[in-house]
Structure 1
Amino acid sequence: MEDSAKKQLDEEKMVNDAFQHLINTYLASRHRKKVEIITKAFNFAKQAHKGVRRLSGEPYIMHPLAVAQIVCSEIGLGSTSICAALLHDVVEDTDYTVEDVSNIFGPKIAQIVDGLTKISGGIFGDKASAQAESFKKLLLTMSDDIRVILIKISDRLHNMRTLGSQPPNKQYKIAGETLYIYAPLANRLGLNKIKEELEDLSFRYEHPEEYQQIIDKLAQTRAHRETLFEDFTRPIREALDKMGLTYTIKARIKTPYSIWCKMQNKHIEFEEVYDILAVRIIFEPQRAEDEISECFRIYVCASRIYKPHPERLRDWLTHPKANGYQALHVTLMSKTGQWIEVQIRSTRMDEMAEQGFAAHWKYKEGSKTTADSEDELEKWLHTIKEILDDPQPNALDFLDAIKLNLYASEIFVVTPKGEFKTMPADCTALDFAFSIHTFLGSHCIGAKVNHKLVPLSHKLQSGDQVEILTSKTQRVQKEWINFATTAKAKNKIQAILRREERELQKQGEEILNEFFEKAEVEPNSMNIDKLCDLHRIKFREELFQAIGSKNVVLGTADLNVLHEKQGNKGNSWTHFIPFLKKKSPSSKTKEKPTTEQPISIDRKKTVVLNEENIQNFIIAECCHPIPGDDVLGYIDSDKHIYIHKRQCPVAAKLKTSDGNHILAVTWDVHKTLFFPATIKASGIDNVGILHEMTGILSNQFNINIHKLSVTTKDGIFDCEIQLGVHDVEDVKKICNKLKNMIGVEEVTRID
């Protein structure tokens, strides 16, 4: 009994200490001091969640307190947002209503709480998964009050910080959707620090071994980096002191997730990642209007000490990024022969970079937000709303469209009148046309870039001046979707094509009904299916569209099929079964055997793949996982289980759109089975090098080569070898052995 009372007192102290820390943080901010309403919200939430605990065992009120702390200290929002964060789960998890919150705390706080509740609950559409529908609601609420999404990101950050209490399959689902949606969303809103933490936490749970290896190597190389940083910055400090500047110089270390991404994308080891260290110079300008010129003064000063890279000057001062980021980046050659990036920014720019202009946009007193950044946010929210106004029928397509709009490096494109437009890198002239107006995009026939005629597929470069050419007779073409890169352009093209398809289907259905009437045949589904079979068309809608577009012209052959006897073998029910089979969520995944029977699985437990049960699972062809890879399982609607690599792009979408069907999976295979793997090698095309490579594989590893392809050009060879291996360890041994050959420069495994 005494232990129970002591535990209760300890928990009470923990809760009160957390609340006091929140109040102290708020009082130290620049906001008006509305402590009374925050205290009222805390007491209300504490009473509402009384007796409820999280999976970790701590009182539930600790979660809203932690979210409010993030909102206050890490994003910099005020009392309204802090109260909404404290109350964000009250309506969803207790008997209190939005009306109750409105009566006690006012309509503004209630509106934000209502927005947060709608994201979590609600009735979802038939064609979209619950998760994708939830993201739609999340994005819709942004245009009403940006604070809703900022609190939601804070909520997700705390959930990620406490993800260890969840079972593995839930960890993969939550980490997957965090990496796919929430991290890029935080990035788009300028919350760089939160974005990086979300990425690292997702990486930590999805690839724990790789995460720990990078953490360990960062610790081992820390002393070397500190020495390099001190030696590199010493002469810069001396020069800045002479200039009389008030400044700080910080070391910016690449995050574990970004290091891992670079290792994956470049197929390199940790030791080959050369830009782990960057230098950040943050200064206090004497006058606000001088901060941009001060940045360039510091750049000139540093470039006199170290030679700058001629192609790596990034000016985001005069034209900030779409998320409000401002800085001047220059890459300098150190005395040790290593390129080091230097980021130059004012204290205001630094605050914007860490917390994002969304926090300054309308709600932070005393902010100096520029009209440009407000305009950029408004434009971005408008684009999101356009996508939501005409959503993709498929949940994964919708997520893809949003994803396109969240990610993107930026370039600046100039209109014929000299106006600067921010566009994503790798955008085309077609994307630019749609960014200006849908009518312009749907009727464009080409463009003039820097006064030269180019096709719609032409990729734009930063600084290009672009004039769009149009024709009233032009119509949207299907192939446009192949070179449109922005979410807005893709979405508009697909919407127009869908509208035209619906019109053609309607016309085709009318033509078909007239044909049936003249042929004196009943216009039922069985007769329509007969014509589908005749024309080798799977779906009735496709038949209607083909008739409407005159690709199928009804005639004598159709009459003959319709007047055949019902017993005709070609139209038997079994003939149509293949067309009725539901497709796997990924068209890239392996076709399942028709004889395979679904297996029974406890979704809460980790599934162990071994020699006895491996035949019950389907190894996904999109990523070719083998023993040793971090994997997960996906249960489709027919209860078949696909095994994907955790970082597989298809799996990333499934974690986000259909996370409740994700399984935790681990390997327990003991070098008795062979799995397909592909190795890519490149190097100097010496005589006999291919013979030596195949000899190593055959003689030293006793491996059968299934397929080998080689190309040579200008004395360089590229070679792809498909072979059978037991696991990832085999692949590493093979790669290391081949790398040691004279003339071989690079050896990597590819999917």
Structure 2
Amino acid sequence: MTHKNNISFRKQYHKFLHSHAGIFSFEERNQIRIILREYFAMFPAEGVAPGKSIADKIQIVEVLLDEIGLGKAAVLSVLFHELVEKQHLSVADIESKFNTQVSSIINGMMRVEELYARNASLETENFRKLFLTFAEDVRVILIIIAEHLQIMRTLHLFPEDKRQNIAREASFLYAPLAHRMGLYAVKTELEDLSLKYTNREIYNEIAYKLSDTKRERDKFIADFIAPLKEKMSELGFQFTIKGRTKSINSIYSKIKKQNTSFENIYDLFAIRIIFDVPLDKEKAACWQAYSIVADMYQPNPKRLRDWLSIPKTNGYESLHTTVLGPEGKWVEVQIRTVRMDEVAEKGLAAHWKYKGIKSESGMDEWLTSIREILENPELNAVDFMDEFKLNLYDKEVFVFTPSGDLHKLPKGATALDFAFSIHSNIGCKCVGAKVNGKNMPIKYVLNNGDQVEVLTSPTQKPNPAWLNVVTTSRAKTKIRQALKEVEFKDAEIGRETLVRRFKNWKIELEDGKISRLAKKKGFKTVSDFYQEIARENLDVHVLRDAYLDLDKPTITEQPETRRADAFSKEPELVTASNKDDVLVIGADLKGVDFKLAKCCNPIYGDDVFGFVAVAGGIKIHKTDCPNAPQMIARFGYRIVKARWSGKSVGSQYPITLRIVGHDDIGIVTNITSLISKEKNISLRSISIDSNAGLFQGNLTIMVNDTKDLEAIVKKIQVVKGVKNVSRS
């Protein structure tokens, strides 16, 4: 280790220990210094991969302490787990020196390290193993989130070929996971950084426009807050009011969802009112503040969100309203207390801190539901990923039992979901529900405030169609388990039937021959074969004859002869096993069946990749296809690198342009006339909808490549009255 590096390292850990002196005693701080010196001697700065240096570890620890709110055990686990892994230090040594239990966290982190050592990308086979690790100690989740936040903050240091996958993974998995843990600030930063590396042009454009309008926005916020401060001070509570600009990713999502431009997004920021009051005065202070806001500014009754009375499952509490502010602009106002704000920012760690003060079991319920998914051996990796994803971003609906007990379920949950949420036995016997006094079927979708009574029958049994009725992971898991039990019983009955009949016929039943017979009859497993016997779908007499015929010799057909000049080599299957192979798309591509994906409509010149379809052939997708993150994360082994051939010859691609503008006389004629003059572009279809002085139109045109597309878009944008042109 060089002298310069040694000085730099000493400054880093001295600053860290001084900043968080309250966590460790003087003796513990000395122990950390000694161990870290040994660590740095074994793992010098030179040649260490990005994200793995001691400086990175200290920054991860800073995130855990300052932004997530974990404590000593998490810090020690992050700093020392590699020394434990390489047997330079034992878990027992750490626990005795620092009087802190770290074994479950360190063991979890070591298993996660093993998974990532095999494959840096979270493909499906690793998914269950990763979350089984998380389930043992939830702090491992928070540490992994902190590590990925640090990776995203330093992503520019990583090789170019790895950045895209890491950024997509952050958006696809870790941002939703942070959201579910209640870490809104972390979730927002992960989404913004992911957008920065996956769509830098859009990111830079929105960032520039936010910067350009900052002075105007600050003035508006100041004008909005000034009269509120005066009125709020009359309540006699300590409080702060501040404006918060929405994240770049959130703004981009609104632009896409509303199919509009940056200038037309009205809620670019929110006003936050935070009270510092005792626990018993929290609700009163928030509702009094709401009354003042509603008196001063016209509220939108459809935009009131009350998470004070019933907090979100991850512990989030706040009162949200949208009001009409100065200059006729809608403004979102969030009202909460210091405690609620800490829970909103630090999520699960703050939830634990305040547990007991306020009954918040939602996070525990969620972790229980995740464990139930993990413990279901019948759920394959892809299904597990879908089930887990459902539990990340779900919105909630609140319903009541006849006795008044409150139940939270995901939005879209059915009466059958509700039955399984009470007890799996009740779910399995459910035949319907009485909702608000009226009989409803099991597929009835629950609404907020419904009073639900489950109706059961002792003869009812689950059937596979129920899997399409329920939406919650708990219900799906329990239904699959129940169906497996039914199948197992049916298989036993079928085997007993066949054994009994064969015994009567003096035929000895051999398991090997039964397996061959089942395969010959087209069954994947012997269990499926026995089930069909139990359900009387197979004739036992026919099976007897087929069983006896198995030992008879069969006449084999002579293979068909082929002339040598008629032989042609079969095309080889294109797979994604060789990551260095690149599929070159063009008219010269032979022997490979490929199609352009309908979800993103790629054209010549777009950045693309190939996806090997189950039925054969390859689908070509744009790299910024909305489905790309999920496909790459779930089916990374089926991804093929792809690019277009040297030039586009003789092929035209349909592209739909969405145009928004003022409904001026002749604007449509001007646009169509412009397109008709283009030599390489033809108009296929046009649909126009005009309303309140504005028109929205969809134009489908045929173009050769992205260069032609960009040129025509620029020309349409300068047509008088056109406000926005976007590619659908």
TM-score (norm 1): 0.80
Tell me the amino acid that sits aligned with residue 159 of structure 2. P
Q: 1:94-127: CA deviations, max 9, x gaps?
A: 65554554565556123321121122327999xx
The structure-2 alpha-carbon separation of the partners of 1:153 and 1:339, relative to structure 1 and needing over 3 Å to count, comes to same
Q: 1:311-341: CA deviations, max 9, x gaps?
A: 1111111211111111100000112222111
Q: Which residue of 2 aligns with 1:277?
A: 269
Q: 2:456 matched to 1:479?
A: no
Q: Which residue of 2 aligns with 1:292?
A: 283
Q: Which residue of 1 aligns with 2:144?
A: 152
Shift of 1:711: 12
The structure-2 alpha-carbon separation of the partners of 1:527 and 1:147, relative to structure 1 and needing over 3 Å to count, comes to closer
Q: 2:185 matched to 1:193?
A: yes
Counterpart-to-counterpart distance in 1, 2:234 and 2:461: 64
Q: 2:518 matched to 1:531?
A: no
Q: Which residue of 2 aligns with 1:216?
A: 208
Counterpart-to-counterpart distance in 1, 2:391 and 2:313: 11
CA contact (8 A) 1:429 1:457 kept: yes
Q: Which residue of 2 aligns with 1:241?
A: 233
Shift of 1:301: 0.6
Tell me the amino acid that sits aligned with residue 20 of structure 1. H
Q: 2:349 matched to 1:359?
A: yes
Counterpart-to-counterpart distance in 2, 1:508 and 1:242: 79
The equivalent position to 2:170 in structure 1, one of 173, 178, 188, is 178
Shift of 1:372: 1.7
Q: Which residue of 2 aligns with 1:415?
A: 401
The structure-2 alpha-carbon separation of the partners of 1:560 and 1:289, relative to structure 1 and needing over 3 Å to count, comes to closer
The structure-2 alpha-carbon separation of the partners of 1:399 and 1:515, relative to structure 1 and needing over 3 Å to count, comes to farther
The structure-2 alpha-carbon separation of the partners of 1:627 and 1:552, relative to structure 1 and needing over 3 Å to count, comes to farther
Identity %: 33
Counterpart-to-counterpart distance in 2, 1:206 and 1:636: 24
The structure-2 alpha-carbon separation of the partners of 1:296 and 1:610, relative to structure 1 and needing over 3 Å to count, comes to same
Q: Which residue of 2 aligns with 1:583?
A: none
Structure number with higher relative contact order (C-alpha < 8 Å, ≥ 6 residues apart) = 1
Q: 2:299 matched to 1:322?
A: no
Shift of 1:278: 1.3
Shift of 1:434: 1.5
Q: 1:337-358: CA deviations, max 9, x gaps?
A: 22111001111111111001x2
Worse-matched range after superposition: 65-74 or 489-498: 489-498
Counterpart-to-counterpart distance in 2, 1:485 and 1:448: 19
The equivalent position to 1:603 in structure 2, one of 574, 579, 595, is 579
Tell me the amino acid that sits aligned with residue 263 of structure 2. E
Q: Which residue of 1 aligns with 2:327?
A: 336
Q: 1:250-308: CA deviations, max 9, x gaps?
A: 222221222222233333332332222111112222x3311211111111111111100
Tell me the amino acid that sits aligned with residue 11 of structure 2. D
Counterpart-to-counterpart distance in 2, 1:402 and 1:118: 20
Q: Which residue of 2 aligns with 1:114?
A: 107
Tell me the amino acid that sits aligned with residue 625 of structure 1. P
Counterpart-to-counterpart distance in 1, 2:233 and 2:577: 67
Counterpart-to-counterpart distance in 1, 2:626 and 2:556: 45
Shift of 1:407: 1.6
Q: Which residue of 1 aligns with 2:224?
A: 232
CA contact (8 A) 1:247 1:281 kept: yes
Q: Which residue of 1 aligns with 2:374?
A: 388
Q: 2:484 matched to 1:493?
A: no
CA contact (8 A) 1:438 1:492 kept: yes
The equivalent position to 1:441 in structure 2, one of 380, 404, 427, is 427
Q: 2:288 matched to 1:302?
A: no
Tell me the amino acid that sits aligned with residue 66 of structure 1. Q
Shift of 1:401: 0.8
Tell me the amino acid that sits aligned with residue 469 of structure 1. L
The equivalent position to 1:461 in structure 2, one of 437, 441, 447, is 447
Shift of 1:400: 0.8
CA contact (8 A) 1:629 1:728 kept: yes
Q: 1:675-723: CA deviations, max 9, x gaps?
A: 65463879999xx9999998876664655678x7989999999998876
Shift of 1:242: 3.8
Worse-matched range after superposition: 654-663 or 330-339: 654-663
Q: 2:243 matched to 1:257?
A: no
Q: 1:56-81: CA deviations, max 9, x gaps?
A: 67982112211111111111222222
CA contact (8 A) 2:597 2:620 kept: no
Q: 2:24 matched to 1:24?
A: no
Tell me the amino acid that sits aligned with residue 264 of structure 1. K
Worse-matched range after superposition: 149-158 or 520-529: 520-529
TM-score (norm 2): 0.82
The structure-2 alpha-carbon separation of the partners of 1:36 and 1:680, relative to structure 1 and needing over 3 Å to count, comes to same
Q: 2:633 matched to 1:656?
A: yes
Shift of 1:644: 3.3
Q: Mapping of 1:79-98 within 5 angstroms?
A: 79-92=72-85, 96=89, 98=91
SS at match of 1:412: strand
Tell me the amino acid that sits aligned with residue 349 of structure 2. A
Worse-matched range after superposition: 666-675 or 161-170: 666-675
Q: Which residue of 2 aligns with 1:580?
A: none
SS at match of 1:278: strand
Show structure 2 runs of 5+ residues with no match.
562-568
Counterpart-to-counterpart distance in 2, 1:509 and 1:279: 69
Q: 1:632-662: CA deviations, max 9, x gaps?
A: 4557999987643445565433433455775
CA contact (8 A) 1:428 1:484 kept: yes
Shift of 1:194: 0.8
Counterpart-to-counterpart distance in 1, 2:686 and 2:514: 53
The structure-2 alpha-carbon separation of the partners of 1:657 and 1:372, relative to structure 1 and needing over 3 Å to count, comes to same
The structure-2 alpha-carbon separation of the partners of 1:45 and 1:471, relative to structure 1 and needing over 3 Å to count, comes to farther
Q: Which residue of 2 aligns with 1:726?
A: 704
SS at match of 1:479: helix
Q: 2:69 matched to 1:76?
A: yes
SS at match of 2:513: coil
The structure-2 alpha-carbon separation of the partners of 1:514 and 1:169, relative to structure 1 and needing over 3 Å to count, comes to farther
Q: What is the count of residue pairs matched by the alignment?
A: 707
The structure-2 alpha-carbon separation of the partners of 1:103 and 1:305, relative to structure 1 and needing over 3 Å to count, comes to closer
CA contact (8 A) 2:127 2:381 kept: no
The structure-2 alpha-carbon separation of the partners of 1:227 and 1:631, relative to structure 1 and needing over 3 Å to count, comes to farther
Tell me the amino acid that sits aligned with residue 531 of structure 1. K
Q: Which residue of 2 aligns with 1:347?
A: 338
Q: Which residue of 1 aligns with 2:566?
A: none
Shift of 1:83: 1.3
Shift of 1:506: 5.7
Worse-matched range after superposition: 212-221 or 85-94: 85-94
Tell me the amino acid that sits aligned with residue 216 of structure 1. Y
The structure-2 alpha-carbon separation of the partners of 1:545 and 1:408, relative to structure 1 and needing over 3 Å to count, comes to same
Q: Mapping of 1:135-150 within 5 angstroms?
A: 135-150=127-142
Tell me the amino acid that sits aligned with residue 299 of structure 1. Y
| The structure with more radius of gyration | 2
Counterpart-to-counterpart distance in 1, 2:323 and 2:702: 46
Counterpart-to-counterpart distance in 2, 1:115 and 1:680: 50
CA contact (8 A) 2:275 2:338 kept: yes
Q: Mapping of 1:624-703 within 5 angstroms?
A: 624-627=601-604, 629=606, 631-633=608-610, 643-646=620-623, 648=625, 651-657=628-634, 659=636, 670-672=647-649, 674=651, 676-677=653-654, 679=656, 700=678, 703=681
The equivalent position to 2:3 in structure 1, one of 2, 6, 9, is 9
Counterpart-to-counterpart distance in 2, 1:209 and 1:33: 45
The structure-2 alpha-carbon separation of the partners of 1:507 and 1:346, relative to structure 1 and needing over 3 Å to count, comes to same
SS at match of 1:282: strand
